[in-house]
Amino acid sequence: MLVVAGLLEVVWAIGLKYSDGFRKPVPSAITVSAMIASFYYLAQALKTLPVGTGYAVWTGIGAVGTAIVGVLVFGESRDLGRILSVALIVCGIIGLKLTSPS
C-alpha cells in the first residue's frame, strides 16, 4: 500500500504541472483524485507502519519518482550531483524500510 501511495504521489506531483495552476479541468481532476487516493493508501499503510517510517518512505518514493519523471519527460538536469542526491534518497528509503519493526 505504501508503494502505491508513493507512486500516486508522483502522479499528483506531475499532475500539478499539467493542471496549469488548476486551470485545466481534466489534469486538475486527475491530480486531485491522485492526491486523495495517495493519502488514502498512506493512511492504510500507517495502520501497520511507524508514522515516521511510512511518511519518509512515501515522500521519498514521491521525490525520487518525480525527479526521474522530470529528467525523462521534462528534460531536467542529469548532472552527477543530482543523480547522487536521488541515490541518497533511495538509500534512505531502503534503510528506513529495512529497520522498520513492521
Answer yes or no: are the C-beta atoms of 10 and 63 closer than 8 Å. no
State what percent of residues in the chain have pLDDT above 70.
99
What pLDDT score does 102 carry?
60
Q: Give the DSSP letter of residue 2.
A: H
Number of structural domains, the chain? 1
Answer yes or no: are the C-beta atoms of 1 and 44 closer than 8 Å. yes
pLDDT-based confidence at 101, cuts 50/70/90? confident
Answer yes or no: are the C-beta atoms of 22 and 41 closer than 8 Å. no
In the chain the first and final C-alpha atoms are separated, in Å, by 13
Supply the range of the domain harboring residue 53. Answer: 1-99
Query: pLDDT tens digit string along 30-39?
Result: 999 999 999 9
* Cα–Cα dist 67/51, whole Å: 24
- Threshold 0.85, pTM exceeds: yes
* Cα–Cα dist 74/68, whole Å: 10
Query: pLDDT tens digit string along 66-91?
Result: 999 999 999 999 999 999 999 999 99
